[in-house]
């Protein structure tokens, strides 16, 4: 059996990590891996999460399974965090998953079960795991224009033109905020226009929201998903706690199926529980339990909110520093888009050759499509990156 297996393509980011580790230069800069790092290059455990772990250690009295869909208390806090009062609880079915990737996978499994002929429409570009999983599942997919390589903003006209080719019942996968890999986001008015468009075309939104709180704030970052929840007959949401709670290795995610008809919620809830059973039976609980403790404890929640705000504003500060450094070096506003983007990532618009030149000459490690992790920067590395960008002729 094993002799029939074929080698799979190497993961570009993992390969980049290996090359970075092998580079002996002291001033090398890692902007490839999609995790938050502080000014010391560390991914710290958030204070509130550490306190919740201590509390959990003191009160937890069993390691028995949770329900197939996970703990209902976790469902409640995640529904409130993401959806607010956009919908009533009886309109939402939820299942805990192994991270946001698990939520995406379970959402796609649900689509394949309910509507196997539906095409999944993805932004161009999108997070590479989106098309990878869809292809693996053998589902139809197509792309809609999203990123304008000239302005480094959203090609909104192209987006709607392409989605006009979609058929009723197709799925439109949208990034809830902090678009990965570009950092270019829809405005509030564009979200409203997208909602009207989807409803008129009878298209079903599937929102991937992995960076809530990293862009313009928790509520502002949830504007799009909440507006869709209010206006669409049905939709799916996949969420991750990896970034905004810093619990990457705990794999805490959630899938939500939302319907304007509460009568469908019981069926939806049974379906997402069934899908969990088929793929991994019971979901992991440790990270979900920590999130629940933090969000239900007023003191821990306040501390978490304060630290999350420090992280968010710190990244905005780094964006502004890099934008200012490039404006000074180029005497132009060509790179002002970096300060306008939101979240951990921006796409520079550099060619693969320019990315390679920055790596060879300045030790700058970013993904070959020129996606850079803003959180990988600090005050010392910003001028190094700015010099590399200018020298490479980006």
pLDDT at 38: 87
- Summarised one tens digit per residue, pLDDT across range 372-387 is 999 999 999 999 999 9
| Residue 210 a catalytic site member | yes
The Cα 104–Cα 173 span in angstroms is 10
Which carries the bigger pLDDT value, residue 324 or residue 41?
324
Looking at residue 303, what is its pLDDT? 98
Query: Catalytic residue among 30, 155, 170, 208, which?
Result: 208
pLDDT of residue 37 exceeding 90, the answer is: no
What value does the mean pLDDT take over residues 281-309? 97
Q: Where are the domains of the chain?
A: 10-46+306-391, 65-296
- Concerning whether 285 is annotated as a catalytic residue, the answer is no
Q: Calculate mean pLDDT across residues 2-24.
A: 85
Q: Is 127 a catalytic residue?
A: yes
Q: What's the rounded mean pLDDT across residues 269-292?
A: 96
Asked whether the predicted pLDDT for residue 233 surpasses 80, the reply is yes
pTM to 2 decimals? 0.93
Please tell me the predicted confidence (pLDDT) of residue 31.
92
Distance CA 277, CA 197 (A): 35
Nearest to 156 by CA among 189, 127, 130, 131: 189
Q: How confident is the model at residue 315 (pLDDT cuts 50, 70, 90)?
A: very high
Fold of 65-296: 3.40.640
What pLDDT does residue 65 have? 93
What does DSSP assign to residue 249?
G
- In angstroms, the Cα distances linking 357 to 43, 235, 354, 370, 377 are 28, 43, 5, 12, 19
Residue 15 has pLDDT above 90, yes or no: no
Percent of the chain with pLDDT over 70: 100
Q: Which residue in 243, 325, 339, 350 is the catalytic one?
A: 243
pLDDT for the residue 134: 98
Q: 10-46+306-391 — its CATH code?
A: 3.90.1150.10
The string of pLDDT tens digits covering residues 291-304 is 999 999 999 999 99
Model pLDDT for residues 68-108, shown as the tens digit of each residue: 999 999 999 999 999 999 999 999 999 999 999 999 999 99
235-255 pLDDT, tens digit each? 999 999 999 999 999 999 999
Residue 19's pLDDT is what?
86
The catalytic residue among 121, 127, 191, 304 is 127
94, 118, 210, 325: the catalytic one is 210
Average pLDDT of the segment spanning 19-29: 89
DSSP 137-201: HT--EEEEE-EETTTTEE-HHHHHHHHTTPPTT-EEEEESSS-TTT-----HHHHHHHHHHHHHH
Mean pLDDT of the chain: 95
Rounded average pLDDT over 253-267: 96
303-79-38-367 Cα dihedral, nearest 10 degrees: 180
**pLDDT score of 40:** 83
Length of the chain: 394
């Amino acid at each position: 059996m094993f002799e029939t297996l074929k080698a799979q393509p190497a993961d570009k980011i993992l390969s980049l990590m290996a090359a970075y580790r092998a580079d002996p230069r002291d001033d090398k800069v890692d902007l490839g891996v999609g995790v938050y790092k502080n000014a010391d290059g560390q991914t710290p455990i958030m204070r509130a999460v550490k306190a919740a772990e201590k509390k959990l250690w003191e009160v937890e009295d069993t390691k028995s399974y949770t329900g197939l869909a996970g703990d209902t208390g976790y469902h409640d806090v995640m529904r409130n965090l993401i959806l607010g009062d956009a919908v009533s609880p009886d309109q939402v079915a939820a299942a805990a998953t192994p991270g946001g990737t698990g939520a995406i996978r379970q959402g796609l499994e649900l689509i394949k079960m309910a509507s196997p002929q539906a095409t999944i429409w993805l932004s161009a570009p999108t997070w590479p795991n989106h098309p990878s999983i869809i292809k693996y599942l053998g589902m139809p997919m197509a792309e809609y224009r999203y990123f304008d390589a000239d302005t480094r903003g959203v090609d909104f006209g192209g987006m709607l033109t392409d989605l006009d080719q979609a058929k009723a019942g197709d799925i439109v996968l949208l990034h809830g905020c902090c678009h990965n890999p570009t950092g270019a986001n829809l405005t509030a008015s564009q979200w409203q226009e997208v909602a009207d468009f989807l409803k008129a075309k009878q298209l079903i939104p599937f929102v991937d929201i992995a960076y809530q709180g990293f862009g313009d704030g928790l509520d502002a970052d949830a504007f799009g998903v909440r507006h869709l929840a209010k206006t669409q007959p049905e939709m799916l949401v996949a969420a991750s706690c990896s970034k905004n709670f810093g619990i990457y290795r705990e794999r805490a995610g959630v899938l939500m199926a939302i319907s304007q008809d509460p009568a469908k919620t019981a069926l939806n809830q049974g379906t997402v529980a069934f899908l969990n059973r088929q793929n991994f039976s019971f979901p992991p609980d440790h990270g979900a339990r920590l999130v629940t403790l933090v969000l239900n404890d007023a003191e821990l929640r306040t501390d978490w909110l304060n630290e999350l705000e420090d992280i968010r504003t710190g990244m905005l500060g780094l964006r502004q520093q890099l934008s200012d450094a490039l404006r000074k070096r180029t005497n132009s506003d060509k790179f002002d888009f970096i300060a306008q983007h939101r979240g951990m990532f921006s796409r520079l618009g550099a060619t693969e050759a320019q990315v390679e030149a920055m790596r060879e000459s300045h030790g700058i490690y970013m993904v070959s499509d020129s996606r850079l992790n803003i959180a990988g920067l600090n005050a010392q590395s910003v001028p190094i990156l700015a010099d590399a960008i200018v020298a490479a002729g980006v």
